[in-house]
Amino acid sequence: MKDTKISARGVNVYYGANHAIKDVSVEIADKTVTSFIGPSGCGKSTFLRCLNRMNDTIDIARIEGDILIDEEDIYHPDVDPVQLRAKVGMVFQKPNPFPKSIYDNVAYGPKIHGLARNKGELDEIVEKSLKRAAIWEEVKDRLQAPGTGLSGGQQQRLCIARAVATSPEVLLMDEPCSALDPIATSQIEELIDELRGRFSVVIVTHSMQQAARVSQKTAFFHLGDLVEYGDTDDIFTNPQDPRTEKYITGRIG
């Protein structure tokens, strides 16, 4: 068992009167891919967005409970969400590169966090990040071309490069392949497997096959409850809860 990276204890999330996450406690291990699965509207994306405080931008969202990353409470009043988000990178459902050049897309994070002292270092970070996102070979000759001109799968890998450029410790992925074709999806999945060596990756997915392929740990959410959490193999072969079994066999969804 690897070290615990993120530890959530008794997390409740309310959107106004809607109780979206109900008393969820989960320990997410370092250097592991953890997938959140569950039917639409079960709260898996909501919970993911709690982990880097992206829910702060929603006025009506209210969060209770503790979420600790490296034993530090990320909802502590002293925590600046900006610093937190540099440590916890995020990749979104729809590829959303900035309408700028490929280079600027990747360089933006390091620039605002002051990670590079000069142009040379910045170039190095950009190259390293694009290589990690397995897109360097495709774009190295057109770094100044607009990022939005790439194909969907390339855009998503560019977004991953952008997320890893700030050297995060955790990478959150909110259905990163839902807008991609099967080939692009398998490229991203391979990439996730490689990224596991450096980060703790948390991925929300609708595809159970994807969860089974890429993750070591799986959490099943249903109507705001964390129903079951364990090793991916166990969840898929020997689910403990009848709801999990129904979901993975396709009877609820």
Partner 1 sequence: MTDMPDDRGAGRSAATSTASIMRPDARTKSRNAAEKRFRAYGLGAIVIGILALVFLLASILYRGLPAFTQTYISIDVALPAETLDPEGNRDPAEMAKVITFGYAGLVDDAMQSALEARGIEVEGLNDPGVLISKQAPAQIRDWVLSNPEAVGGTERFDFLATSRIDQYYKGAVTMESAARDSQISPEQLQLADILKDEGMLTRKFNWSFVTAPDASDQRPEAAGLGVAILGSAYMMLIVLGLALPIGVAASIYLEEFAPTNRWTDIIEVNISNLAAVPSIVFGILGLAIFINFGGLPQSAPIVGGLVLTLMTLPTIIISTRASLKSVPPSIRDAALGVGASKMQAVFHHVLPLAGPGILTGTIIGLAQALGETAPLLLIGMVAFVTEYPDAPPEGFFDPATALPVQVYNWTQRADPAFAERASGAIIVLLVFLAIMNITAIVLRRKFERRW
| Residues in contact with partner 1, shown as a per-residue x/- string from 162 to 181 under the rule CB under 8 A | xx-xx---------------
| 152 in contact with partner 1 (CB under 8 A) | no
| 151 in contact with partner 1 (CB under 8 A) | no
User: Residue 152 phi/psi, 5° resolution?
Assistant: -55, -45
**Which residues neighbour 201 within 8 Å (Cβ) at sequence distance 6 or greater?**
32, 33, 34, 170, 171, 173, 192, 195
| Residues in contact with partner 1, shown as a per-residue x/- string from 55 to 74 under the rule CB under 8 A | --x-x---------------
Residues in the chain: 253
Report which residue type is found at 149. Answer: G
Q: How far is the CB of 148 from partner 1 (least distance, A)?
A: 4
Q: How far is the CB of 73 from partner 1 (least distance, A)?
A: 19
Smaller CB distance to partner 1: residue 49 or 222?
Answer: 49
User: Residue 22 phi/psi, 5° resolution?
Assistant: -115, 105
Q: How far is the CB of 12 from partner 1 (least distance, A)?
A: 22
Within residues 119-138, the interface with partner 1 by CB under 8 A covers none
Q: Which of 9, 31, 113, 131 binds partner 1 (CB under 8 A)?
A: 113
Q: What is the DSSP string of 206-226?
A: S-HHHHHHH-SEEEEEETTEE
Separation CA 203–CA 224 (nearest Å)? 17
Q: Which residue has the tokens 């937190």?
A: 84
Q: Which of 102, 145, 152 is nearest to 127 (CA)?
A: 102
Q: How far is the CB of 134 from partner 1 (least distance, A)?
A: 19
**Which residues neighbour 223 within 8 Å (Cβ) at sequence distance 6 or greater?**
22, 42, 43
Q: Which of 11, 69, 90, 126 binds partner 1 (CB under 8 A)?
A: 90
| 97 in contact with partner 1 (CB under 8 A) | yes
| 82 in contact with partner 1 (CB under 8 A) | yes
Q: What is the DSSP string of 74-141?
A: TTSTT--HHHHHHHEEEE-SS----SSBHHHHHHHHHHHHT--SSHHHHHHHHHHHHHHTT-HHHHTT
| 149 in contact with partner 1 (CB under 8 A) | yes
| 108 in contact with partner 1 (CB under 8 A) | yes
| Residues in contact with partner 1, shown as a per-residue x/- string from 4 to 43 under the rule CB under 8 A | ----------------------------------------
| 159 in contact with partner 1 (CB under 8 A) | yes
| 158 in contact with partner 1 (CB under 8 A) | no
Q: Which of 2, 41, 64, 83 binds partner 1 (CB under 8 A)?
A: 83
**Which residues neighbour 127 within 8 Å (Cβ) at sequence distance 6 or greater?**
136, 140
Greatest Cα pair distance, the chain, in angstroms, is 57
Q: How far is the CB of 88 from partner 1 (least distance, A)?
A: 9
Distance linking the first and last C-alpha atoms of the chain: 31
- Which residues in this chain contact partner 1 in the complex, by CB under 8 A? 52, 54, 57, 59, 82-86, 89-92, 94, 96-100, 108-109, 112-113, 146-149, 159, 162-163, 165-166
